[in-house]
Amino acid sequence: MKLFDLHCDTITECSAGCKKLFDNDLHISLKKADFIEKWIQVFAIWMPDEYRGQSAIDYFDRTYSTFQNEILENADKVVHVKNRNDFENLKRHECGAILSIEGGSALSGDISQLERYDTLGVRLMTLTWNGANEIANGCYGSDKGGLTPFGREVIKKMNGLNMLIDVSHLNEKGFYEVAALSEKPFVATHSDCFSVHEHRRNLKDEQIKLIIENNALMGLNFYNEFLGKDYTCMDGAYRHLTHLLDLGGADVVAIGADFDGCVVDEALCGIDKMQALYDYLLSRNVDEKIVKKMFYENAYLFFNKMVFTN
């Protein structure tokens, strides 16, 4: 099978717990994923809300060092995808690792940090985590505040760097301000549908329609709390997928599993369960063309066009 997953917290967990990417007790390991023929994985460096200023930069640097060490230790199994050449020349059963930042507090209010992170190979940034930072308010913060003046600078700078803007975790006002300001499509790497399950982290239909109109991406999240506790994880994933399809999202749906950053049911508790999800969706009469788009094709085409242009 082919898999392009827009979000996991595995590297953060490896760094915090002194664990290895090849083999561990986490949702994702290289060993668990060796059955995947083509695998591109976005690895997020998660920024806890309590880190600000220099401590946030130091935290990023420590976690980035873990990421680099794991790439070097597993050079025959994983490649840090920084450019088009890396993206186009991945081998079978080789993990293409794309680096993201989850939480713009990593900038410490300094716009020049974006260029440094771009040079280090960061290709996406989630503007906030759940709380407020120098850029904007997260979905667990105030509903009133949107982008700060610094946040507006960040949007423009990210557009110029071809660094993807990720609106997952952003509050609703901030979402619409990004939509109005950004000159390029933005993504929601790991979010579900509010109409299926009312949770502040899920996106409302009008937000989803904007993503669709912009030919962007929305990665479905497997966290129990977002899928809805009234459903099994497999059924929940199916319900959120079909709602997104009903809105016209066949070309924007993707996977943003949130592995190693959330609680998931046993049936979907790791990357080794992805074939089971693929088969389950087929058993629910989802067209295999749609399943392939969700699992790989939509994200691949988007990154090929919008990120890895040189």
Residue 242 has pLDDT above 80, yes or no: yes
| Mean pLDDT computed over 205-210 | 98
| Mean pLDDT computed over 256-275 | 95
pLDDT value for 47: 96
Contact 43, 79 (CB under 8 A): no
CA nearest neighbour of 57 among 12, 100, 106: 106
pLDDT tens-place string over residues 124-182: 999 999 999 999 999 998 777 899 999 999 999 999 998 999 999 999 999 999 999 99
Query: What percentage of residues in the chain have a pLDDT greater than 70?
Result: 100
Task: Supply the range of the domain harboring residue 294.
Answer: 2-306
Residue 203 has pLDDT above 90, yes or no: yes
Provide the residue type at 19 as one letter.
K
Confidence of residue 54 (pLDDT cuts 50, 70, 90): very high
pLDDT value for 143: 76
- The CATH number given to whatever domain includes residue 205 is 3.20.20.140
pLDDT tens-place string over residues 55-78: 999 999 999 999 999 999 999 999
| Mean pLDDT computed over 75-103 | 97
The count of structural domains within the chain is 1
CA nearest neighbour of 41 among 270, 306, 278: 270
What is d(CA 97, CA 188) in angstroms, rounded to the nearest whole number? Answer: 18
| pTM higher than the cut 0.85 | yes
Confidence of residue 30 (pLDDT cuts 50, 70, 90): very high
Average pLDDT, the chain: 97
Contact 80, 86 (CB under 8 A): yes
| Mean pLDDT computed over 247-275 | 97
